[in-house]
Structure 1
Amino acid sequence: MNTFRVTTNKAELDIASIHRFLSQETPWAKGLPFSVLQKGIENSLCFAGFIDGRQVAFARVVSDYATFANLLDVFVLPEYRGCGYSKVLMQEILAHPDLQGLRRFTLATSDAHTLYAQFGFDAPAKPQTLMERYFPAIYLDQ
């Protein structure tokens, strides 16, 4: 396994690469405008994974750093999957000092339940108490 380095230094982010992947390759952010991604990054704790200087993974967390956090936009580039990088990324996220002692840490996934279950994520204990406003095609409607 190549050395996989995770950083939260936003100056190291390859935002163009993140945008290309999210806006073109993911079902949840298809059509994401670059300016919306920039604003999201500015207002999030971001984690980037690198191999040999190339960014190959990304995730961001939105949090009040006291009681709640939400994990978003997690990806490992397809050619780097199956090497354990997503697990290392999750370990780094959950170990971050600003994300300790939270009462609730949420995420949404359509296909990575097994990965997240390894880190203690489960279906909501009381789904009847959760509500959302959800606009899945918002970027495509613009």
Structure 2
Amino acid sequence: MLTLIHQLTPAQVEQLHQMYLQEWWSKDRTLADVPTLLGNSDLLFGLWDAETHRLAGFCRVLTDWVYRAIVFDVIVAADYRGQGLGAQLVEHVTTHPRLAQVECIQLFCTPEMRPFYEKYGFGQAEQLLMVRPYG
């Protein structure tokens, strides 16, 4: 049975980092940066497997609590995939009482993930995204 957690222990931070290393979009993240990433996030959602002592899934949210919230890093450990954990994470975010009054919850996803997020009320934005790369 999985438990929803909102804080990570040092061991769970290491497990999250290991999950990051397995994905193309997060493989360059360092273990040293993960505590800073977590500390500067407004809400954390982890799925903890107490039986195996493993972090099975994770995502985080940054928000101003009024107009915008953005979901980052929806990730499920490879051996836990196919069990609906991504759906559980998204549902925890979209039903969180502190986010209920936020005008718009946003996220970035690849085109093949759009149908998954559309099931939870997300739609494609009409405006263009502008980015300023670092460096």
**TM-score for both structures, normalised by structure 2:** 0.85
Residue 36 of structure 1: how far off its partner (Å) = 2.3
Which of 19, 24, 33 is the equivalent residue of 1:27? 24
Question: In the alignment, which residue of structure 2 is the partner of 1:39?
Answer: 36
User: Is the contact between residue 60 and residue 71 of structure 1 (CA under 8 Å) also seen in structure 2?
Assistant: yes
Q: Over the residues paired in the alignment, what is the CA RMSD in angstroms?
A: 2.0
Gaps of 5+ in 1: none
- How many Å separate the matches in 1 of 2:10 and 2:87? 21
Question: In the alignment, which residue of structure 2 is the partner of 1:122?
Answer: 123
Residue 15 of structure 1: how far off its partner (Å) = 0.3
**TM-score for both structures, normalised by structure 1:** 0.82
Question: Kindly, what percent of the aligned residue pairs are identical?
Answer: 24
| Bigger relative contact order (CA 8 A; separation at least 6) | 1
Count of residues paired in the alignment: 131
Q: 1:76 to 1:55 in 2, by over 3 A?
A: same
User: Is the contact between residue 60 and residue 74 of structure 1 (CA under 8 Å) also seen in structure 2?
Assistant: yes
Question: In the alignment, which residue of structure 2 is the partner of 1:66?
Answer: 66
Deviations 1:3-44 (A, max 9, x none): 22212134487000111221x211112211223221110011
Gaps of 5+ in 2: none
List aligned pairs for 1:46-61, cutoff 5 A. Answer: 46-51=44-49, 52=51, 53-61=53-61
